[in-house]
């Protein structure tokens, strides 16, 4: 029995760590997209995401990659991305492609914002599983069968010099780097230290302009803080909401401060998405937030509360 008979397949996952050098690891860019496992068999391509859902219909252009894979059958791990003119992945441009099941809509989006599969691992080739083959050898096998094109790229790597590669990747605009032990096997569904994600986090000071009602254990405090900053014209704009990173004492302390600042109308324009009601407050509280990146429409990705900044005047928070 091969992996084809064991579908769906949970992808191998990484742990987090700081940049490092090692002769025992290879290093490749971290692509900011939709983790996808591709199945090629009988001239047909099928796609499965990390949540084990079939996403084949949502990306009709990826069917073209079958002409660029020199194999009878294959299972390839990779990332579906939408590339900018600079060749960098744009998660913001990819998001409208998620969850599309209507073939006509999928074809329209494939034309307006075409996606590319970036292949980085080989799980099966020509009727044989390859997950027990060492990682570096799997990469070489994968490279030999791929013919790159507009919808298919190979994720290349370097050996040993992880720190230098990380700095270069960040300077080029990538989200981070993934280190993979050269002799590691592919273990489906396992979060392993043999794959290490080196991803930077930045911090930013934000103004709290509201909070969402809490539920469950947070029913007496809040669910998330609505964040904003001043633009160059002195107007507040929405940066996103942060709901993680708080300890119990911080939830209590911040809620006590928020209640004293409540107001009926928002200080920011536009719709703010929330699953629970929003209570608006005067822009008097500043907090420091960690985040992964900022989207083109100025929203924080992966925000996490770090601390209150009682030493910072909200009027100085220009972004």
To the nearest whole number, what is the mean pLDDT of the chain? Answer: 93
As given in the structure block, the two tokens for residue 20 are 């490092």
Evaluate if residue 96 carries a pLDDT over 90.
no
Residue 13 — very low, low, confident or very high, per pLDDT cuts 50/70/90?
A: very high
pLDDT, residue 117, reads 98
Q: Do 315 and 234 contact (CB within 8 A), yes or no?
A: no
The predicted pLDDT at position 86 comes to 87
> With 90 as the cut, is the pLDDT of residue 294 above it?
no
Q: Which two tokens stand for residue 26?
A: 């290879």
Whole-Å CA distances, 251 to 217, 259, 307 = 11, 12, 11
Assign 113 a pLDDT band (cuts: 50, 70, 90). very high
What are the tens digits of pLDDT across the range 133-159?
999 999 999 999 999 999 999 999 999
With 90 as the cut, is the pLDDT of residue 11 above it?
yes
Q: How far apart are CA 68 and CA 209, in angstroms?
A: 51
Question: Which residues are designated catalytic?
Answer: 30
Beta strand extents in 148-224 (DSSP E only): 152-154, 158-160, 176-181, 191-199, 202-212
Is CATH 2.40.50.140 what the domain over 202-316 is classified as, yes or no?
yes
Residue 57 and residue 103 in contact, taking contact as beta carbons nearer than 8 Å = yes
CATH number for the region 3-199 comes to 3.30.470.30
CA distances from 7 to 2, 52, 54, 87, 132 (A): 9, 9, 11, 32, 17
Contact call for residues 250 and 287 (beta carbons, < 8 A): no
Q: How far apart are CA 195 and CA 21, in angstroms?
A: 14
Q: Cis omega (within 30 of 0) on the bond before 99? A: no
Q: Rounded mean pLDDT of 18-30?
A: 96
What average pLDDT does range 234-258 have in this prediction? Answer: 95
**Burial status of residue 38 (CB atoms within 10 A of its CB: 0-12, 13-18, 19 or more):** buried
What band does 224 get if pLDDT is binned at 50, 70 and 90? very high
CA pair distance 59, 73, nearest whole angstrom: 20
Distance CA(72)–CA(145), nearest Å, equals 10
- Tell whether the model's pLDDT for residue 311 goes beyond 90: no
Question: How many CA atoms, within 13 angstroms, populate the side-chain half-sphere of residue 264?
Answer: 0
Q: Which residue has the higher pLDDT, 294 or 212?
A: 212
The sheet with strand 22-29 has its strands ordered as 13-16, 191-199, 176-181, 22-29, 158-160
The percent of residues in the chain predicted with pLDDT above 90, rounded, is: 77
Torsion angle of the four alpha carbons 20, 26, 30, 34, in this order, in degrees rounded to the nearest 10: -140
Share of the chain above pLDDT 70, in %: 100
Confidence of residue 161 (pLDDT cuts 50, 70, 90): very high
> What pTM was computed for the model?
0.71
Asked whether the predicted pLDDT for residue 202 surpasses 80, the reply is no
- The reported pLDDT for the residue numbered 138 is 98
Residue 177 has pLDDT above 80, yes or no: yes
Task: Give 107's Cβ-side CA count (13 Å radius).
Answer: 3
Q: Where are the domains of the chain?
A: 3-199, 202-316
How far, in Å, CA of 146 to CA of 173, rounded? 25
């Amino acid at each position: 029995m091969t992996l084809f008979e064991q579908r769906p397949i949970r992808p191998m996952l990484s742990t987090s760590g700081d940049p490092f050098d090692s002769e025992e690891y290879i290093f490749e860019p971290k692509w900011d997209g939709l983790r996808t496992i591709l199945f090629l068999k009988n001239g047909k391509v099928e796609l499965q995401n990390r949540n084990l859902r079939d996403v084949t219909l949502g990306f009709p252009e990826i069917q073209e990659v079958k002409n660029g894979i020199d194999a009878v059958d294959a299972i390839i791990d990779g990332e579906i991305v939408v590339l900018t003119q600079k060749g960098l992945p744009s998660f913001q441009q990819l998001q409208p492609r998620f969850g599309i099941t209507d073939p006509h809509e999928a074809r329209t989006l494939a034309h307006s914002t075409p996606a590319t599969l970036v292949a980085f691992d080989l799980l099966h080739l020509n009727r044989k599983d390859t997950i027990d083959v060492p990682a570096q050898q799997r990469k070489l096998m994968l490279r030999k069968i791929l013919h790159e094109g507009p919808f298919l790229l190979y994720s290349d790597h370097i050996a040993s010099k992880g720190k230098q590669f990380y700095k270069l990747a960040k300077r080029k605009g990538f989200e981070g780097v993934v280190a993979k032990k050269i002799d590691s096997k592919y273990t489906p569904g396992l979060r392993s230290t043999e794959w290490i994600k080196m991803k930077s986090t930045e911090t930013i000071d934000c103004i709290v302009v509201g909070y969402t009602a809490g539920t469950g254990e947070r029913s007496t405090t809040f669910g998330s803080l609505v964040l904003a900053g001043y633009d160059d014209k002195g107007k507040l704009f929405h940066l996103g909401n942060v709901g993680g990173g708080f300890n119990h004492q911080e939830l209590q302390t911040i809620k006590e401060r928020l209640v004293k600042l409540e107001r009926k109308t928002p200080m920011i324009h536009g719709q703010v998405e929330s699953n629970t009601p929003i209570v608006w407050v005067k822009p008097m509280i500043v907090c420091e937030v960690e985040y992964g990146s900022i989207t083109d429409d100025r929203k924080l990705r992966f925000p996490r509360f770090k601390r209150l900044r009682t030493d910072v005047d909200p009027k100085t928070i220009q972004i």
